[in-house]
Amino acid sequence: MKKLLTIVFGFVLVCFSVNAIEKKIGFTAALTDFESSGTETLKSSSNKTSADVSEQVIVPSLFFEITNDSGLGIGLDFVPGDADLGSKQKAKVDTDTDDKSDTAGTNKASAEVSGHSTIYLMVPVKAAFLKVGYVSADIETTENLDTGTTYGNKTVNGTMISVGIDRDMPNGSFIRAEVAYTDYDDITLSGSADTDGASNKVDADVDATSLRLSIGRAF
């Protein structure tokens, strides 16, 4: 995918060298539904705990684009803050006790996305446009687990595709609406040693669907 994007962006730059270009900057507000699923595996016992989380948040971002006179463009979208992927809390029951009802601990985990950036190619399709992009982001985790395990942060990549429409306004301004889907690469995190001295592991999958509204200005 990286090689394909490199070839495509190289082709686009050649197109820009022989056509007039227009610069665009703007602001986007994206209503985003993050869908996350993860499984924690305890190395000492191979016991697995799975959870699915869905979180809807509004994610603001800034973008910069250059387009040629045919509407073909490349751009960069950057989220200046953090986006919450959601949290999960579950009480663990100690099944080793006689009454089998005592709470042994509470598992709580949450995750955020930061440093989210997307470099993309924009292709005009009749009255609409199609975007294909490469995404990079940092996943930051916070845990409070009865196993005592903590997990570090990780940089993940992914791909984005969207379709939308632009409408010009006076004085070089424009508004934009689009629907986007982002598929992040699978995530594997190795934890610190648990109470038995073994290292645990989390495997997670994250994707996002967004309704994006933008306003910008062309120069």
Complete domains list, the chain, with CATH: 2-88+103-218 (2.40.160)
Measured distance CA(148)–CA(106) in Å, rounded? 11
* pLDDT beyond 80 at 90: no
Instruction: Tell me 185's DSSP state.
Output: P
- 154-168 vs 187-193, strand pairing mode: unpaired
pLDDT band (50, 70, 90) for residue 177: very high
Q: How far is CA 205 from CA 133, 178, 189, in A?
A: 19, 24, 11
pTM: 0.74
pLDDT at 23: 86
Bigger pLDDT: 81 or 210?
A: 210
pLDDT at 3: 56
* pLDDT beyond 90 at 60: yes
The Cβ of residue 194 has, within 10 Å, a number of other Cβ atoms equal to 19
Helix, strand, or coil (residue 12): helix
Task: List pLDDT tens digits, range 3-55.
Answer: 555 555 665 665 555 556 788 999 999 999 988 887 777 666 677 777 787 88
Residue 98 identity:
D
Helix, strand, or coil (residue 184): strand
pLDDT at 99: 44
Maximum pairwise Cα distance, the chain = 79
